Amino acid sequence: MLDLSKLNPEQREAVTATEGPLLVVAGPGSGKTAVIAARAAYIIDQGLAEPSAVLAVTFTNKAGRELKRRLASVLGESARQVWAGTFHAFALRMLRQWGGHFGFDPDHLSVYADQGDRRTALTQALKELGLDPKGQPREALLQMISRAKDRLLWPKDVAGRDPELSAVYEAYQGVLRRRNALDFDDFLLFAVRLLEERADVARSLRCTHRYILVDEFQDVNHAQHRLLTLLAAEHGNLCVVGDPVQNLFSWRGSDIRYLLEFQRDYPNARVISLEQNYRSTQVILAVANALSAALRYGRRNLWTANPPGLPVVLRATDDPQAEAAFVVAEVQRLIAEGAVGSPGDCAVLYRTNAQARELELACLEAGLPYSVRGNNDFLARKEIRDLLAYLRLVHNPQDVVALGRVVNTPPRRLATLERRIRAGEELTLGRLEAEFPCGLKGDRSRKALRDFLEVVAVLRSMADAPPGPLIEAVLELTGYRTWLRGQEDGEARLANLESFRGFAERSEAQDLAEFLDEVSLASDLETGSDPEGLALSTIHAVKGLEWPVVFVAGLEDGLLPHARALDGLEGEGSALEEELRLCYVAVTRAVDRVYLTYARRRPGNGRSLAAMPSRFLRRMPIDLLERRAA
């Protein structure tokens, strides 16, 4: 039998209220992951459903893996049958199974998660419309298409308001369809349409997943909300867990109203609030409560039975270099004194990815192991994109974007083919094989193409191999590793490839398709010198995580709060309020110690500019702050 004795009364109620809609308002550190895991285990343990009937939608794939780990400790092997992962992962799984309804080849879909790939597809679409791509606002067009998809709008739906956008959107989708590709926003768009158009699919999924659990509900967008509504339409067993104070993604389309209006949507819903914090000291919670007091909704009064703890340290430094040096020195001091066991017990959280640079340099100079979390910029580096293009081509021979990227990388006398593909010619791997030599005239070019096709054929024969060995084969058989060694920055780029190969080796993906899906969905990718080192991360990427020691860096007006928010009006739903929620989330990641740092001067517009301490510091109780002199 499942032991619920360690849960408090509110947690037990959330676990055992199995039937019908349930909203759990859970503050940080209140044991929400334990509640979600225990609820899933309780449903299965009581014989209410088989493990496969439980669907757990989490904010990151890592959170899904952690949930399954906890379930396995209670349920054993049967926990593997519980589906746990992100909205996009679930939607992509649906399309892998039923994408044929839309004319896709589900077994060989390519995912254009990279902005560069989407831009290439859009460029082709603009050319087909007779428009000069260079004269069009391509980034803005991609954003408008993305927003339309988030609102579940198809090209015909925007035609009345914006016929030009409708035409571009339709042409863009046509390019993706020919290439058997989806972009990231397509997952939910097509998944919702599938449920709306195929009653048999909707019936099958509702029958299969009779109990739905959703984490981080405050951050769902319109498409995600619609997907949940369709899945829970018959049984109504929808349990959502969220916290309005931790709503951080309005810029990405999330809508806090779905949480605030849950009872309107489900009038018979139960509401349970979890206020007891098991993570942090009383001092840390007092600072967090003071920050939330300024919010229009979702104010928190977190409490804990934990000890009072140490004061929050506030440190001003001269510049970002000094700030980074202080952080690294303090981590080393804490380790030397035995206050923490390793660098991995500490995290540095910041508002923008650009802040990581000085911190990485300081770690490298001091020889301190580190990892950069949520570092999707890593996936945009040329060598990583080249490698992924090879893998995508192996998986989907229709992927023209991937072929155009690798056909002459490394250089192999096929620049003519590369130019033809980039100019918009729909050359696929199949066409190169069927129409050899594809207009190439020189013997060397023809031999180079033949060699290229032979290498790709060998790699495609290895498509069922685990990702790690397949990556090794790509680097060796294509000559990419040898070529890179001869480049000026080759060693650094090879190190990035090794870091990515390490990510692949740690992956639980069973084949290439699963691995490419995992990469396309990666929001919690870790890079750096050591996955167990000092964690460097944007605040947006640390939902659900905690560390004994947390440094919140760059607490300056213009960074946190961000400059874009300072121009807006204060009030409910304002950008400035969301910045305050970011600060709240950062502080509540800490178990024992919090350090707040800012620089008096920071580079900007090519020179060093005076920086003002964050206005959020004034909201913190002064008697709980320990000021450290520079």
Residue written as token pair 């992956």? 507
Contact 168, 129 (CB under 8 A): yes
Contact 608, 602 (CB under 8 A): yes
Contact 37, 56 (CB under 8 A): no
Cα angle vertex 329, ends 324, 333, to 5°? 150
List the structure tokens of 470: 């397949």
Active-site residue, from 185, 215, 360, 517:
215
Q: Which amino acid is at 337?
A: E
Contact 397, 116 (CB under 8 A): no
Active-site residue, from 226, 279, 493, 589:
589
Active site residue 246: yes
Contact 534, 347 (CB under 8 A): yes
Active site residue 589: yes
Cα–Cα distance between 187 and 111 in angstroms, integer?
9
Contacts within 8 Å (CB) and 24+ apart, 333-339:
334/549, 334/593, 339/549, 339/593
Active-site residue, from 10, 11, 32, 226:
32
Active site residue 527: no
Cα–Cα distance between 492 and 499 in angstroms, integer?
11
Active-site residue, from 16, 33, 81, 115:
33
Q: For residue 535, how far is the Cα from the chain centroid? A: 16
Q: What DSSP element (H or E) covers 181?
A: strand 181-183
Cα angle vertex 588, ends 587, 589, to 5°? 95
DSSP 500-535: HHHHHHH----SHHHHHHHHHT-SS-EEES-TTSEE
Active-site residue, from 246, 317, 538, 597:
246
Active-site residue, from 117, 183, 216, 386:
216
Q: CA-CA distances (angstroms) from residue 334 to 16, 358, 372, 534, 542?
A: 42, 21, 20, 12, 22
Q: Which residues are catalytic?
A: 32-33, 215-216, 246, 589
